[in-house]
Structure 1
Amino acid sequence: MLGSRAWNAATAIAAFAGFISFTSLAAMPVNAEEAEWHHASALNGTPKYGPDASHFDYVNPDAPKEGTVRLASRGGFDTFNFILTKGNPAPGIQNIYESLMEPSLDEEDISAAYGVLAEAVRFPDDYSWVEYRLNPKAKWHDGEPVTAEDVIWSFEKAIELNPQRKFYFQNVVEKEIVGDGVVRFTFDTVGNRELPKIMGQLDILPKHWWEGTNDKGEKRDISKGTLEPPLGSGQYRIKDFSPNRNVIYERVDDYWGKDLPIRVGTGNFDELRYVLFLDDAVQFEAFKGDQYDYHLERSSSQWAKRYDFPAIEDGRVVKEIFLDKSSGVMQGFFLNLRRDKFKNPDVRRALNYAYDFETTNEIVSANLLKRINSYFAGTDLASSGLPEGKELEILEEVRDQVPPEVFTEEFKNPVGGNPRNVRANLREAVKLFNKAGFEFKDRKMIDPATGEQLSIEFLYRDKASERTLLPYAKNLESIGIKPVLRLVDTSQFINRIRSRDFDATTLAIGQSLSPGNEQREYWGTEAADNPSSANYMGIKNPAIDHLIDKVIFAEDRDTLVAATRALDRVLLWNHYLVPQFYTGETRTARWNRFAHPENMPEFSTGFPSIWWYDQDLAEKTGAAR
């Protein structure tokens, strides 16, 4: 299951309004007239926070409301309309919007969600529909109420204008207003426990604003990009901006939900300022120069070698590591299966043998990285050993459609790290290429289909990627493959990925601890030909489709885990990509002007949502320039 605001930095805060506790789903009646309303919902068990909670455990309810935090973002922006697939939305734009429900940051069942614009939810025990009842206090920043019409209109526009959302919400066959402030979504299937949940992730937009006119009398059009600051309902609104340079959000003093227990201790900054950069190196120098406050470090090499500037030494900049327990990830060299050269799994497996992770990790990243060996790396959903128990039972259903190694071998990446291992791995790579019909002749790997040397273009947008690419390219050259390293700007990169115009590129797919319908978009056959989907590789495999359905329709947590591990195992043994690395932790650095609660949430840093400006620290560090 995708988390609320799945492709953005969700604040994951929710709202209560005095509803009854969530009870056993199995006991819920089917009839709408009998189904009970609940303040929250969860796929597995009972939500942690009941209707009487005063605030989430991980916030400081007395946090001061003041100050500014400056954040950095890569690339530019040319629109505030985030629902379109074209254009580059402004960073932080979803600070102004809210969804029907959102999760907390400290529950093992991360699928638990609490009402925001919707004060309550109900659905029958066959999950054939879901109803949301809007909070009557919810209003837009212009004072107009948030209505059921807004919800229906937002859904219609999302699936009309965004193929990704249309695919994600494809099971909805009817949407209707069934009461005062009550919206129902009816599904084309039963037994899908996740469908009522994912409808709560819908971002709600103001119909009356988008169908109105701007200050020039021109009619607005949500099907087009716009730089007119839009109307929202959230804790922040746009104060000022400069396209491709910065955007400033200000806290809404009369925000409708600021006194709700769920919002206490959040939204503590008067302003959120996003500063944009086109280059990682320039961005980091700007951080060192106090041009923004909070830096999320993704480069292990930089983390190990470049934090030696004066502000670190005198304590004005603080480094802090948070364990990452909230999600898994698959990052790797994604191979475009639409290219004939990658259709043979032996070719794809050979490319993994040519990748020497261990040496790169030691030389470039100070051994701070871990090799990815699962599509759910870093979670208990990752497969290991040989399949057994319920996982084996599930795999037996597709035995004739999956590689036999699924049942007989534990998946392990080749291990390099020294010249002997690397030579052995490269010899194995050549054997696999030969098995696939290629010929190693005159130090060139000849493609039998064309009679030409096999060439692979690696598409990337960040020059820092060359630290990993160059050693890999050298190994490929040693076995006769011609690597072409293609550095492009961000807009070109995005367009080429969307149009599937690439051989290989480094991408990452994040995974929640409750996978579900989004797996169809990542690996499902139906998504393979959809340019807006996340099935970048173009996987079309009926066995994988079957296993995705087993994940989606899992009746309990044990079955969900078993089905996910089965899916993971089959994805791995098809060698669709060359797995790279992950950290298992979040590395941050910040100018020491901010404080966070002592009891931090288990599954997020919570920055900047639950942090606040600390005047005492700021006086010692110096005011931001």
Structure 2
Amino acid sequence: MHPSRRRFLAGSGAALAAPLLPRRIFAAVPANTPLHGLSAFGDLKYPADFKAFDYANPDAPKGGTFNFAPPNWVFNQNTQTFNTLNSFAPRGDAPPRMELCFDALMARAIDEPDAVYGLLAETVTISPDGNSFEFQLRPEARFHDGTPVTADDVAFSFKLLKEQGHPNLMLTLTELTDAAALDEHRLRLTFSGRHSQRTILDSVLFPVLSKAYYTANPFESSDLKPPLGSGPYRVGRVRPGQSIEYERVEAYWGRDLPVNRGQYHFDRIRIDFYRERQAAFEAFKKGDISFRQEFTSRLWATAYDFPAVVDGRVVKREFPDEKRPSMQAVAFNLRRDRFKDVRVRRGLTMCFDFEWANRNLFYDAYLRSQSTFERSDYKAEGQPSVEELALLDPLRDKLPPEVFGEAVMQPVSNGSGRDRKLLGAASKLLAEAGWKRSGGTLVDDKGERLTVELLDEDDSILRVFAPWVDNMRAVGIDASVRLIDAAQMQARQSDFDFDVVMMALSWDATPTREGLETLFHSRSANVPSSRNLPGTADPAVDALIEAVGQTKDRQGLIVAMRALDRVLRARQDWMPCWYSASHRAAYWDMFGFKEPKPDYGFPVETLWWFDKDKAAKIGKG
């Protein structure tokens, strides 16, 4: 998502002609001054005359094919199937990495926590009131058919995405009041004044679409016609639902921009789609897939002993994870009456035995998540600080009392798989919530059973959910697991047609108000396809998200995020699950890459390159 949220990964650039300015952006840069980049807090790392990002390699060769299993995706994308090539609409299943076919106004540097630099936009100028942003577009920018990318295209794109785009795009643009082409190469985006000052950092990463193309072709149509883009890749060979190739655009207009140098090396990026993880793993073992991140701890611990690993043709290693908050959690659907009482949600959480699962299923590969912002400074610890209380006290009458004590922690079991103490506590909570045993099953005062269906598309998760289901049944819950295909899963999540589902994502290092709104704000609770899976609609949460948006420095952001974390953990709309401290990756040893990896991203498909000598040594040349 955004919330991976995986950020829009178009190429990026910086204006060689932009003036060398004091590099503090929102706080100190004077209004009406053309800027080559923006950052929420602090200095930009790169001046206007930089040549390439430090993590890129301008000397790397071009060529080869990179066939990989995408570890993350965004918007309506799906890794098991696809039925549309429109990645930015609310409906349908699109293939990952369609974003590589499109450019944006600006692009993110992934060795900084929140910096963006010009791509289609040569410079950006902020108005004195901070409500409008004027972009000077690069006149050389072109779509793949050779037509120019104009301010009219950009204005059209923002209006279209605000009205018809995926909720992650649409909700971010809620406070956008106008997108206007001032002339062929000048664009102004105007916001209402109710926006966060960091709204622009998300907005400038959105795809720019061709007005001519989407005037002739309906935006929301689910077809497999390759859309017209302007990015470093275009759609190549497509086998519907089975595979897609992205071809490098040799004449890409932005290939020599400073922050495009040293990226986009592969001639082709190929993705094959598998319905089952084991089938994908077998394809990797044969060499049909050349790179994969391993998310099944059992396989990582026991299955990487096949001949290509033993003789060194396949490399198995761990890369440091990004310095960004992460979230892997189960959502309880509060739109269903039986989950509205927090005591029910707590009871369900007490039935999940992480300690047993970690030892018996995960090979002790994971740590227990406690927060929706795990692995970050935004995770609340201990008692609330004085600064946090300054935000929380005015909302005290709207908040659970647990918010004002130690940060809520997940229950710790004895690791037996059926901790009687925890299950007894769960039974007590459920009884307090009005659920009584009748014939071995919990029912309410109307005689309706407490049913819980855990929904998933991945058969490997059944091993984790099955013991949880057994424990829920032990306390009288009519619990079950349903495995459905990827397209059904996407549709049912979009329509909020589920009891309980799991979601994993990583946040940007500097979360924005708009990003938080897509998961936790009442505004997104009933927007189809939004990531607010539980349907959280709490005025106190809304107020704290607004406080996050109004912070003026990083310390203020940390305080507001910790306060929000306390409330979310006390509400227990989500049950945090587990996390790993590193990327577990395996790849056929025919690639080059620069080390160390950047701190805020791991886009191997855009940074790695094909090494002919290595490939020849392992018979892949």
Cα offset for 1:490?
A: 0.8
Seen in structure 2, the aligned counterparts of structure 1 residues 8 and 52 have a Cα distance that, compared at 3 Å, is closer
Taking the TM superposition and a 5 Å limit, the aligned residue runs for 1:88-487 are: 88-107=93-112, 110-162=113-165, 164=167, 165-189=169-193, 192-211=196-215, 219-419=216-416, 422-448=419-445, 450-487=446-483
Q: Percent of aligned pairs with the same residue?
A: 34
Q: Is the 8 A contact 1:177 1:184 kept in 2?
A: yes
Seen in structure 2, the aligned counterparts of structure 1 residues 441 and 419 have a Cα distance that, compared at 3 Å, is farther
Tell me the distance in 2 between the aligned counterparts of 1:258 and 1:573. 49
What is the Cα-based RMSD across aligned positions, in Å? 2.0
Tell me the distance in 2 between the aligned counterparts of 1:328 and 1:427. 34
Tell me the distance in 2 between the aligned counterparts of 1:143 and 1:540. 47
In structure 1, what is the equivalent of residue 27 of structure 2? 26
In structure 2, what is the equivalent of residue 490 of structure 1? 486
Seen in structure 2, the aligned counterparts of structure 1 residues 572 and 17 have a Cα distance that, compared at 3 Å, is same
Q: Secondary structure at the match of 2:130?
A: coil
Q: Deviations over 1:257-295 (max 9, x none)?
A: 111221111111111111111111111111111111111
Cα offset for 1:441?
A: 4.5
Instruction: Give the letter aligned to residue 91 of structure 1.
Output: P
Cα offset for 1:220?
A: 2.8
Instruction: Give the letter aligned to residue 289 of structure 1.
Output: K
Q: Is the 8 A contact 1:151 1:204 kept in 2?
A: yes
Mean Cα deviation higher: 201-210 or 565-574: 201-210
Seen in structure 2, the aligned counterparts of structure 1 residues 125 and 150 have a Cα distance that, compared at 3 Å, is same
Tell me the distance in 2 between the aligned counterparts of 1:85 and 1:592. 38
Mean Cα deviation higher: 5-14 or 184-193: 5-14
Taking the TM superposition and a 5 Å limit, the aligned residue runs for 1:50-65 are: 50-65=47-62
Instruction: Give the letter aligned to residue 457 of structure 1.
Output: E
Name structure 2 gaps, 5 residues minimum.
71-78
Q: Secondary structure at the match of 1:204?
A: coil
In structure 2, what is the equivalent of residue 503 of structure 1? 499
Q: Is the 8 A contact 1:80 1:93 kept in 2?
A: yes
Cα offset for 1:160?
A: 2.5
Seen in structure 2, the aligned counterparts of structure 1 residues 600 and 427 have a Cα distance that, compared at 3 Å, is same
In structure 2, what is the equivalent of residue 563 of structure 1? 560
Name structure 1 gaps, 5 residues minimum.
212-218
Tell me the distance in 1 between the aligned counterparts of 2:2 and 2:246. 26
Q: Deviations over 1:13-61 (max 9, x none)?
A: 443333233345334455xxxx101000000011101112111111222
Cα offset for 1:444?
A: 2.4
Tell me the distance in 2 between the aligned counterparts of 1:127 and 1:41. 13
In structure 2, what is the equivalent of residue 215 of structure 1? none
Q: Is the 8 A contact 1:14 1:104 kept in 2?
A: no
Mean Cα deviation higher: 147-156 or 84-93: 84-93
Tell me the distance in 2 between the aligned counterparts of 1:143 and 1:403. 58
Cα offset for 1:401?
A: 0.9
Q: Secondary structure at the match of 2:466?
A: helix
Q: Secondary structure at the match of 2:236?
A: strand
Q: Is the 8 A contact 1:415 1:421 kept in 2?
A: no
Tell me the distance in 2 between the aligned counterparts of 1:586 and 1:549. 33
Tell me the distance in 2 between the aligned counterparts of 1:557 and 1:590. 37
Instruction: Give the letter aligned to residue 200 of structure 1.
Output: V
Instruction: Give the letter aligned to residue 150 of structure 2.
Output: T
Taking the TM superposition and a 5 Å limit, the aligned residue runs for 1:511-526 are: 511-516=507-512, 517-526=514-523
| TM-score w.r.t. length of structure 2 | 0.94
Q: Is the 8 A contact 1:326 1:512 kept in 2?
A: no
Mean Cα deviation higher: 273-282 or 567-576: 273-282
In structure 2, what is the equivalent of residue 216 of structure 1? none
Tell me the distance in 1 between the aligned counterparts of 2:125 and 2:55. 27
